Amino acid sequence: MIVEMKKLVLIGHSEYKDKLLKAIHRLRCVETCRTRDVEDTVRTGPSANVDRFRVDLSRIDFAFSFLKDQKKKAEVIAKRTEKAEQPFINTPIKAPSVKQIVRMSFDDFDAIADKRDELMANVADLEDISSRQREIEQEKAQAAQEAEEHAVYKFLKSAYDEYKDSSRTLIKIGCVPSQRAGELAAYAEAQPLMDIQLPDIGKVQAFALIADNSIRDEVEKKLQELDYSPLQFSGDRSPLQRIEELKSELAELELEYEELITRALVKEMFIADFKTLYDYYQVMIERDKALGGFANSGTCFVMEAWLPAKDEERVKAAIDGVSDAFAYEFCMPEEGEVVPTYVKNNPVVTPYQDITNMYSAPKYGSDLDPNPVMSFFYFLLFGMMLADAAYGLILAIGGLVTYFIKKPVPGKGRLLLIIGMGGISTIIWGAIFGGWFGLDISGTFLEKLQLVKPLEGNGPLILLGISFALGFVHIVVGMLMNAINLIRKKRPLDAFAEVGTWYLIFTGIILLAVGLLFLKNIPAIKYVGIAFAALGAILIPVCNMRGKQGAKKVMGFFGGFGKLYDGVNILSDILSYARLFGLGLSGSVVALVVNQICQVVLGFFPQGSALIAIGYIICVPIFLVGHIFNIAISTLGAYVHNCRLQYIEFYGKFYEGGGHVFMPYGTNMKYTYLEHYDSPADADLALGTGTVANE
């Protein structure tokens, strides 16, 4: 049901702006809007605080992702140190998940403002920790790189500074490309005044040579030809000593890094407050946007807002409780105004509102609420697309039990309810079609429930016929919804011309089919059917004449025959429901194939022997994985194709959409659910979920 809305127009003293916004935030049933232009008034631009709020929001987002990353690193380190019997120094803190919504009262939520400085200081600590960790990672990378470079010269046993030229000798230490190592060795062997040390070849060929000064120029020239890179290190440490120092530095850096992880994880105790502060900033940004929509004079302001008509007295009491310096009135929407849509349905229909809103919210004043009718067909068609009672049992238990265990806040977890109810529909259709994990149910009590055998005899044709019949009913109901819409808009003749005439044709076709196929001994039924169909076909061009004069009336009559072509479109729409047949049959075939694979595996083992146990052990994972995959892919297919049938075939017949979702002030919150409502029936507005769920 689309709830009736009213508009609030209020004039008040500017001193009470903030108090008024806080009062309507507490109510969570008032959506502010941009006030119409008022003479001699101005509008305020974004305040300087908004940019700071947005920056702080991004900083809190960083804190969430950083803590999540630190948790993963701590787990990796803990596993590594556990194997090494060196417990990680991290002290685990039990903290709420970032995804978990915090339940609290409005007063507790509002009090988070007093903790802003403290909480942002903790965020700053996390930023500092992150910065230092990046520095450590760079230092570790540099130390590791340096150790790798020193390792090339580990064959040198003395300190680097000891390798110096003398008055009579030349000393060269460095590297040449590994592919030139052979040339260097051959040159050294042919040179009697030179001695060279060549360790094992790695990525490059390191060497140390000593030669007589008399061949200095020749040696240096040869080394240049071999792309020689000279030693870049110096100091009073040997390569191995320097490597050990670097290992010690790396160990110290790693220890500091782990200590930083522990320091970061201590901040997990603030996650709940971080989440509340995040939503507080969201509300502050929304507050600034609301204030920007007010019309302001020197000392007064004008506010306009929307609210459900049933909440008028609550809103009036809240305004009066702020100050008596307000003048206000509640009025009905004017023609042409964009009115937000608030849809309210029973608990069974409410989850399906998400399906509609993925397409488009109903337009206030123009659309019927399609959810009660759509939800029935969605439920009905979902089960037929899976058509396995065992699968349905798993979905029903999994969806509904998970929902009631998790107990999500109102507006959340609706997909679980849709899947759970879809599971119930699947149980019904599965029992009718005899689908129970694709197993043979012959001779069992389950066979008594089976009415159709989709994989035997004429079963596929019967299943296809049922699919087309459901499609026809679905489309006819969509056309009926269009007629109701037109009648609501006081256009009954249009309703008859666009829908009633086709109903006459459908009635005639059905009677003709019954007379030809089932009641051949009553020919009158056949002739009555022909009469109805002919009457409908004639009335379509006749109705197309209305509102026209003269020659246009004649043109309208003949032009109306072109509308009979819509019958082809209707037929093609009905053919779209063959997907019910295809999905239901494919799921059954996959289940059957999985079972046959298990039977083939069991056939490799002698029946009655002890070895058959091995066969069953092998078959269990095949059976589970195969059917789990089939459930997953079939459920996804049912969800997507069901949405497609609702959006195109059903909504295409009557639904306009394009509505603006009712989003009360202060409900744009991601992590917080405010409890303690004046009216429990309005709980779904806490997260702005009057017409759409925030999954």
CA angle 280, 283, 286 (to 5 degrees): 155
Most confident of 44-58, 295-309, 605-619: 295-309
pLDDT digits (tens, 9 = 90+) for 344-353: 999 999 999 9
CA atoms within 13 A on the CB side of 538: 7
- Which pLDDT belongs to residue 76? 87
- Which pLDDT belongs to residue 563? 79
Most confident of 484-488, 556-560, 681-685: 484-488
CA 243 to chain centre: 50
- Which pLDDT belongs to residue 174? 93
State yes or no: pLDDT of 38 exceeds 70. yes
Percent of the chain at pLDDT exceeding 70: 94
Amino acid in position 70 = Q
Report whether 173 contacts 179 (CB < 8 A).
no
CATH 1.10.357 fits 164-230, yes or no: no
Report whether 435 contacts 594 (CB < 8 A).
no
Distance from the first to the final alpha carbon of the chain:
22
**Could you give the angle at which helices 612-644 and 389-396 cross, rounded to 10 degrees?**
80
State yes or no: pLDDT of 92 exceeds 90. no
pLDDT digits (tens, 9 = 90+) for 254-305: 999 999 999 999 999 999 999 999 999 999 999 999 999 999 988 899 999 9
- Which pLDDT belongs to residue 630? 95
Confidence of residue 81 (pLDDT cuts 50, 70, 90): confident
State yes or no: pLDDT of 681 exceeds 50. no
Rounded distance, CA 331 to CA 304, Å?
A: 11
Report whether 176 contacts 229 (CB < 8 A).
yes
Rounded distance, CA 486 to CA 647, Å?
A: 20
Rounded distance, CA 633 to CA 652, Å?
A: 27
Higher per-residue pLDDT: 661 or 95: 661
Is 550 in a helix, a strand, or coil? coil
State yes or no: pLDDT of 229 exceeds 80. yes
Confidence of residue 693 (pLDDT cuts 50, 70, 90): very low
Q: How much of the chain is helix, strand and coil, in % rounded to 5?
A: 65, 10, 25
What are the backbone dihedrals phi and psi of residue 42, each rounded to the nearest 5 degrees, phi first? -130, 165
- Which pLDDT belongs to residue 378? 97
CA 337 to chain centre: 33
For the chain, domain boundaries: 164-230, 350-653
List the beta bridge partners of residue 6. 307
- What is the rounded average pLDDT for all residues in the chain? 89
State yes or no: pLDDT of 461 exceeds 90. yes
> Structure tokens of 432?
């009718």
The predicted model gives 172-197 an average pLDDT of: 90
Pairing of β 340-341 and β 660-661:
parallel
Rounded distance, CA 353 to CA 689, Å?
A: 10
State yes or no: pLDDT of 410 exceeds 90. no
State yes or no: pLDDT of 545 exceeds 90. no
- Which pLDDT belongs to residue 94? 57
Print the SS3 string covering 375-439. Answer: HHHHHHHHHHHHCCHHHHHHHHHHHHHHHHHHCCCCCCCHHHHHHHHHHHHHHHHHHHHCCCCCC
pLDDT digits (tens, 9 = 90+) for 195-214: 888 887 678 899 999 999 99
Higher per-residue pLDDT: 203 or 371: 371
Q: How far is CA 72 from CA 68, 185, 191, 279, in A?
A: 7, 51, 60, 26
State yes or no: pLDDT of 19 exceeds 80. yes
Query: Structure pTM?
Result: 0.83
State yes or no: pLDDT of 416 exceeds 50. yes
